[in-house]
Amino acid sequence: GDSVTQMEGPVTLSEEAFLTINCTYTATGYPSLFWYVQYPGEGLQLLLKATKADDKGSNKGFEATYRKETTSFHLEKGSVQVSDSAVYFCALDSNYQLIWGAGTKLIIKP
């Protein structure tokens, strides 16, 4: 069945560092791909999405490109801030359900 694999956390970075959180997927067809973010004590919220191959989703300085050839949707940010500390979830749209990665906790130190 369809699945999503994320890099394990926690990922700890210093402020202004470059961020990459890896996400790869297995799916039949070409599902939409998503990144959701969960701040401490809150529910998840959509960060960005891409609906077809080579699409780039972007929001709040974060970017991710839908790579069909490598079945990947890696999340990147050029310069992280302390306020980016959160748990990040990669997900794909499959057969009327969202399939979720396990989440990657990001810790940014000042």
**Measured CA angle at 101 (ends 83, 46), to 5 deg:** 45
Residue 93 binds other proteins (CB under 8 A)? yes
Q: 84 phi and psi, to 5 degrees? A: -85, -5
SS3 content of the chain, % helix, strand, coil (to 5): 5, 55, 45
Question: Which range binds other proteins by CB under 8 A, 10-18, 61-69, 70-78, 92-100?
Answer: 92-100
Residue 49 binds other proteins (CB under 8 A)? yes
Residue 107 binds other proteins (CB under 8 A)? no
Among 28, 43, 70, 110, binds other proteins (CB under 8 A): 43
Three-class DSSP category at 26? strand
Q: Rule CB under 8 A: which residues touch other proteins?
A: 4, 32, 36, 41-46, 49, 51-52, 89, 93-98, 100-103
